[in-house]
Structure 1
């Protein structure tokens, strides 16, 4: 399990420093007109939870098509006047079958790091592709959403 945690942490860290992908990517334009375009997307629910012990839970949906590597939904949240401070909140393994799925990310921060109230969440649908033996991020979709954190 430590390897998975390290991969998720690396993926979340990479998401903070690499350019974001567009919110949705349409299918190639050579698709026949009567075939609906398949899009990849990620959404963030407008309400998140923050418990008294610092546990934060964020949720939303995602949709992705075939992928060569492992795909994850990562999320970061920021709150307050110092919006440059971002807190990584978990990572969920994604199933890329073209269907819409729910995601839930949970992470525990120091008590008081986040409080009930307005916040901003960035969710990223990211694939780790193995290139020359290294897992490198490939972004499928990104969503920036203002949310309300509630106690609980």
Structure 2
């Protein structure tokens, strides 16, 4: 009986190794979004955030949306949206939004960026399909 269990475990291990993705497969292109380590806040309340994105293909319009929180992490403020091009190349995105002056101030902040597609459906109503998402602590500086 122990020999049969050993052969079963060895076979299972071999199958797992064969099914595991190669290093080349993991380093290939994929959808991604990044966030720059600094954003700006103007005296008039204009917040600007930026980063990069890459997406391979899409069946509908794609956007990079962003939000920022400062202080209370439960309170997020949407900061603009940018149309995205899904051609496999890395592109820059910048989102800006005017807020009441003093709402966000220079200093530490938490940003979330999302690469999202509005995918058409058979019923005609487009539904969101998320390609990539990232959260990151950044520093807001005075512009």
Q: CA RMSD in A?
A: 1.9
5 Å-filtered alignment, 1:1-152, equals: 37-80=28-71, 82-131=72-121, 132-152=123-143
TM-score (norm 1): 0.75
* Max Rg structure: 2
Please state how far the C-alpha of 1:36 moved relative to its aligned partner.
Answer: 5.6
TM-score (norm 2): 0.80
Following superposition, which runs of at least 4 residues in structure 1 exceed 6 angstroms of deviation? none
Please state how far the C-alpha of 1:30 moved relative to its aligned partner.
Answer: 8.7
Mapped to 2, the partners of 1:121 and 1:36 lie a distance apart of 26
Mapped to 2, the partners of 1:116 and 1:46 lie a distance apart of 13
Mapped to 2, the partners of 1:110 and 1:134 lie a distance apart of 34
Query: 5+ unaligned residues in a row in structure 1: which ranges?
Result: 1-28
Mapped to 2, the partners of 1:38 and 1:107 lie a distance apart of 31
Secondary structure, counterpart of 1:144 in structure 2:
strand
Larger fraction in helix = 2
